[in-house]
Amino acid sequence: MTIHDSRLHAFRPDLADARLEGQVAAQRFVAGRPARITASVADVRKAARPDSGLNTQLLHGDDVLVFDEAEGFAWLQAERDGYVGYVSSADLAPRTFEPTHLVTALRTFVYPGPDMKFPRSGQLSIGSRVAVTGFAETRGTSYGILPSGEAIVLQHLAPLGTTADDFVAVAERLIDTPYLWGGFSAFGIDCSGLVQLSMRMAGNNVLRDSDMQEASLGTPVDAGPDFSRLERGDLVFWKGHVAIMTDTENMIHANGHTMTVAREGLRAAIDRIGYLYGGPTGFRRP
What are the pLDDT digits (tens) for 7-66? 999 999 999 999 999 999 999 999 999 999 999 999 999 999 999 999 999 999 999 999
Determine phi and psi for 163, rounding to 5 degrees.
Answer: -130, 150
- 197 domain residue, yes or no: yes
Provide the domain count of the chain. Answer: 3
- 116 domain residue, yes or no: yes
Give the pLDDT mean for 67-88.
98
User: Which residues are CB-neighbours of 67 under 8 A, at least 6 positions away?
Assistant: 10, 15, 16, 17, 30, 32, 33, 75, 76, 77
- 202 domain residue, yes or no: yes
Q: What is the mean pLDDT of the chain?
A: 97
- 137 and 175 share one domain: no
First to last CA, the chain: 19
- 115 domain residue, yes or no: yes
pLDDT digits (tens, 9 = 90+) for 214-241: 999 999 999 999 999 999 999 999 999 9
The predicted pLDDT at position 275 comes to 86
List beta partners, residue 141.
138
Q: For residue 30, which amino acid is it?
A: V
- 131 and 192 share one domain: no
- 240 and 197 share one domain: yes
The predicted pLDDT at position 158 comes to 98
- 272 and 228 share one domain: yes
The CA–CA distances, whole Å, from 251 to 15, 84, 145 equal 43, 30, 39
Domain with 195 in it: 167-285
- 221 and 258 share one domain: yes
